[in-house]
């Protein structure tokens, strides 16, 4: 789910503790299993952060000077209730206008079963082949930089 929040309370979306606590609570309300929480406050304004959940993640980027916040609620499986997270964030940030887009991702034409999160017991999408580390073009034959 892609959530665009317009005409937000600029003080709310520029307050690190308010944004962080709101995102964590939104994840809980959506029935997510929280794994980690990482947020960063920019100078002079703005906050970016992610709540990593077992089902995937909730991410936010705020532009208080524009009274705007962009939120992604990405999930695997059918346990998560992203609409509950969205409703809560709209309320917490005082958004006067919103846009919500729901995308179906990870749909494979030849899949024998739907994808589920790790907690559901299914493996998820196939893993790409291992990649070798690229050569280091900035190093000369002597091993020092050029």
102 Cβ neighbours under 8 A, 6+ residues apart: 1, 2, 82
Token pair 């998820």: residue: 124
Of these residues, 8, 22, 56, 75, which one is catalytic? Answer: 56
Of these residues, 76, 99, 140, 146, which one is catalytic? Answer: 76
Can you say whether residue 45 is alpha, beta or left, with left for phi > 0 and alpha for psi between -120 and 50 degrees? beta
85 Cβ neighbours under 8 A, 6+ residues apart: 26, 27, 29, 30, 32, 58, 73
Integer-rounded Cα Rg, in Å, for the chain is 19
Of these residues, 48, 57, 61, 66, which one is catalytic? Answer: 61
| CA gap 103, 41 in Å, rounded | 29
22 is catalytic: no
61 is catalytic: yes
Residue 63: exposure state from Cβ atoms within 10 A (0-12, 13-18, ≥19):
middle
| Residues classed as catalytic | 56, 61, 76
């Amino acid at each position: 789910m892609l959530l665009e929040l317009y005409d937000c309370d600029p003080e709310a979306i520029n307050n690190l503790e308010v944004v962080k606590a709101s995102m964590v609570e939104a994840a809980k309300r959506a029935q997510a299993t929280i794994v980690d929480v990482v947020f960063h406050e920019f100078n002079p304004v703005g906050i970016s952060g992610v709540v990593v959940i077992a089902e995937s993640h909730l991410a936010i980027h705020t532009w208080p000077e524009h009274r705007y916040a962009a939120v992604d609620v990405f999930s695997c499986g059918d346990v998560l209730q992203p609409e509950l997270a969205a409703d809560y964030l709209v309320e917490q940030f005082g958004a006067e206008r919103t846009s919500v887009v729901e995308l179906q991702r990870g749909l494979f034409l030849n899949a024998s079963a739907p994808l589920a999160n790790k907690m559901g017991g299914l493996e998820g999408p196939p893993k790409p082949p291992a990649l070798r580390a690229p050569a280091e073009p900035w190093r000369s034959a002597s091993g020092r930089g050029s």
